[in-house]
Structure 1
């Protein structure tokens, strides 16, 4: 990657405590906001040249693979800060993970923000710093972006859109339609923590034990997974709609059945408890640090061992198998020995969780 830099220039600190409409007007106030908040966080000691795009060395990209991966995602989480993360960390992790589950090495992100007039500048600084720290941990650059300010009430505090590019490894061919009967379905850890953390942060629960979001960049874990399973069929991060949404998409796209085992689902007792109280199904709770993977049966043990040796996969578990029966359907064997259909939700159990 080759992003041009020019020597640092003097940055004029913001005098405002809150964001005003002038900070989105394209003049010196906007430049001060971008310099003081975003470039200070994203550029380190240097200041990118003021171009309208980031530029990349194609030779450096093709050194990692032969196909380009490209994804985008918007983030509107409420509240902005929650146990285990914030909207900035969530934005970076979500886009990095969307690239990584396709077998790509994430390279760079863009960051577009829509800011409500009146948002505290310090809040914006905290979000930008969190994004920078998360991007550094994931080994990606935040290379370009955009800033807009809207009047009070036109958005809720802060919305972020991140777009990412990555390079897909040569010879790797994973996809939602690749599963075959006999394959094994795995997850890398405890399910539902993000949805529970957001719900608790809104004050809707009074849990004695705080639950933190599992928000994390998973590209390092996925490198480990791919190395352990060269025949891996597919990977998908189980965000909105949870595991249930992913396995239903898998069953439909691959024209197979999926059979889950309820007793094998790794989940906190606290999460199961509040789901029972509120009438929620934990299979549909959002995750931000969990992937569902499908691997050939002969690679399952190696994958499980490799995942459990990684800090983000210590609670990894096999949760089901791909079958030839009832193509397009997902069935779960319950803890009581019966069966139930796991279908797609029409809407969302919890709005604005990412």
Structure 2
């Protein structure tokens, strides 16, 4: 009985927080109408990689609380340049200095800082607007510093993003709330870049302060908007493929045995039951091991290693796992985690 009341109290607390959050979300629309995501760039540097004529363009979004660009970010940007991308480095950190940016410039076409408003999508929008003759490019990639990696060479992954199969490719997809490609790695091919739907979407991006609207209107809304206009969207690591890989190793028990969910066995049993019940969950967190070891996914989410919000029991093994499957320098991750 005591445990029952604890659960009820937790649910009441959760629902109360959710209600307060939603009131704040709608209060923003009422009292602080979001302005268009333009005119926020404060400083700009020209890098050593030509943007004119580049077939591949990447926008890399960055944020730090201080005048810093983490080594794992610099590595990621360099790997994009080695994969043939002219990189636009868009930072929501106004404090970046010439000295901090200088060592990044050989690997980018443009770097800029902007006011920290509008989250990732506002920065993407301002960076995309800097690309001349965008519709003539072979592809546009948008990505950000929310992942560690790449653990492997990016070229084979990019080669899999076949424009004959889809106009927009994400590394992963999600069925949470509504189906959408996750926005930390998105490739737009020429058919998308030439479409009115693409232009209308990015021209309409506004500087919301509340993350709820960024997720609803842009993280989820991007896929829904482009699909509704006939553009094809696919994931390189589809949710169903990832869950099938997991289920082959962890088939649900015919008669489930109650187990401690903080243990690897109990946790796997809980995940298997959710998959069997078609309950969508975030694959980049819950199935990070299968993605990394079995499927060759080149990234690990930073939040997973920093906070592990779902208390996934095997996350502490990340360094051993990465070292077994990749030559990636895990010091880049450890250094960042130890600085937090």
Measured against the shorter chain, the TM-score band is under 0.3
TM-score by length of 1: 0.23
**Which structure has more strand as a fraction of its residues?**
1
TM-score in terms of structure 2 length: 0.24
Task: Pick the structure with more helix per residue.
Answer: 2
